[in-house]
Amino acid sequence: MTFTFSFIKKPASFTKYLQRHLSSKKIAVMASNSSYNVYIPNDTIPTAQTKIKLADRVLISPLVLGTWAWGDKKQWDWNDALDVQAKEAFDMSISKGINTFDTAEIYGNGESERCIARYKANYPTSGSEDIVIASKYLPLPYKLSYPSSLINALRASLDRLKVDCVDLYQIHGPISLRSIEVLGNALAEAIKLGLTKTVGVSNYSIEDTIKMYDCLQKHGIQLASNQVEYSLLRRTPETSGLIAECHKRGIAVLGYSPLAMGRLTGKYSIANPPPKGRNFSNVSMEELEPLLESMRGIAEKRQVSVSSIALNYVICKGVIPLGGARDGKQAEQNAGALGWRLTNEEILQLESHHVTPNLTFFNRMWQHG
């Protein structure tokens, strides 16, 4: 297997980094594993050894651990006990071959990034170098000075993560008052400074994704990803054509809330609904019950968790799921999504249950993709 890398000119420090990580030994390891550009083909069973290539540069696991809950006291009631449990989730994920973690500067006001730094510190250098980290920049409307606003935020994230460079840096949402070209130029500057290996966007529409892609192409940079909410309860990125348009341009689609904020884990029911405030994929448990019944049936037949069914479905659709996990057990259940693949018949069975999420003003403002 041959790997081709296309790089723009980098500072000396970043060049040394690439030389260290693209040694002949590293290439041999890459070649021994299956890796695919953008998504896993329909005829391939996803395993921990299966990798996705972002922008032909960064290899990530087919399942990513989302860390929104880590450090967040307001939404997720974070405390010292949950810190211990999150470390278990981190360790379990690594042990299962899930080496990619998605965070953001806004998660717990930076505490999520600090958590990753603490958990990662327990691993030897050789192992920690294989841990892939993605973070995000929140382009609040009052942030008008570019590229400095983005670059300064990225440097702050690097300080909290205790790394010199992240693997993926993303625009968190389409809420900036500055143009996409201005943000794109700032992302390009971040790569040229060696602060991130690849760049992406989140919650972008088809039109805005293409604009960002075209802007970065002028710098010789590939737009690596668009992170959008995607699950059995929210298939809009698929039905709108966004996933297909991204794949056409070599842009990976990362799916956040693939478990619908817990609704697709089997944990909640009509008698035990999820806590208030979980606005993504907000569907009543009464409406959701027929789908959950089908998921439980498939899970029992395959001897996996209901969560595994939800995550495997996302993978089958050409999307990389960002499954959250608050403890080791949840991380282990998520990992159960690997090693097998839903049949076409099972997918049709799941999709036969039509549900309609309740959209809030926030959803409409935030989610363009």
pLDDT tens-digit profile of 270-282?
888 877 766 677 8
What is the Cα–Cα distance from 345 to 298, expressed in whole angstroms?
11
Please give the order of strands across the beta sheet that includes 35-37.
35-37, 51-54, 58-60
What is the average per-residue pLDDT within 62-69?
A: 95
What is the Cα–Cα distance from 278 to 27, expressed in whole angstroms?
43
Site of tokens 């008052």: 177
Q: Could you give all domains of the chain from N- to C-terminal order, each with its CATH number?
A: 38-366 (3.20.20.100)
pLDDT at position 3:
32
What is the average per-residue pLDDT within 91-116?
A: 96
107 flagged as catalytic = yes
pLDDT at position 17:
38
What mean pLDDT value characterizes the chain? Answer: 88
Give the model's confidence band at 23: pLDDT under 50 very low, under 70 low, under 90 confident, else very high. very low
What is the Cα–Cα distance from 205 to 208, expressed in whole angstroms?
5
Q: Among candidates 322, 189, 247, which has minimal Cα distance to 37? A: 247
Give the model's confidence band at 20: pLDDT under 50 very low, under 70 low, under 90 confident, else very high. very low
Identify the H or E element spanning 321. strand 320-324
What is the average per-residue pLDDT within 149-157?
A: 98
pLDDT at position 268:
83
φ, ψ dihedrals at 53, nearest 5°: -100, 120
Q: Are 250 and 37 in contact (CB under 8 A)?
A: yes
Q: Are 107 and 170 in contact (CB under 8 A)?
A: no
Q: Are 306 and 318 in contact (CB under 8 A)?
A: no
For the residues of 50-84, what is the DSSP string, one character each? Answer: -EEEETTTEEE-SSEEE-TTTT-HHHH---HHHHH
What is the Cα–Cα distance from 329 to 92, expressed in whole angstroms?
8
pLDDT at position 278:
65
What is the Cα–Cα distance from 32 to 15, expressed in whole angstroms?
25
Task: Say whether pLDDT at 315 is over 60.
Answer: yes
pLDDT tens-digit profile of 225-260?
999 999 999 999 999 999 999 999 999 999 999 999
39, 107, 213, 313: the active-site residue: 107
Q: Are 11 and 193 in contact (CB under 8 A)?
A: yes
